[in-house]
Amino acid sequence: MIYLHATANVRAYQAKLLEMAQANMTFAFEFSQRLATIRSPVEFFTVIAEFTSKRIGMFGKYSKEMAELSTKRTA
């Protein structure tokens, strides 16, 4: 029974890591597309600020979700 629980936890971690990798790839692609369309120095800083904010939000979200998986695993 413990083995099945551990296997389920490993699968949940793997699924979350895959989700994080996909989100990171999507983020990088969107960021590079936006950088390629910049027409002025001011727009550069606006894009950097926008994507920095999105990146911080993404890290916060996934940190919280991984922490929840961690506490679920040990409970």
pLDDT at position 71: 80
| Whole-number Å distance between alpha carbons of 70 and 9 | 9
| Whole-number Å distance between alpha carbons of 1 and 75 | 15
- Going from the C-alpha of 54 to that of each of 40, 49, 51, 58, 61, the distances in angstroms are 21, 9, 5, 6, 11
**What pTM did the predictor assign?**
0.75
For 50-68, what is the mean pLDDT? 93
pLDDT digits (tens, 9 = 90+) for 31-55: 999 999 999 999 999 999 999 999 9
pLDDT at position 5: 65
Instruction: Using the predicted structure, report yes or no on whether residue 75 has a pLDDT greater than 60.
Output: no
Closest CA to 12 of 61, 58, 70, 63: 70
pLDDT digits (tens, 9 = 90+) for 6-16: 677 788 889 99
Question: What is residue 28's DSSP assignment?
Answer: H
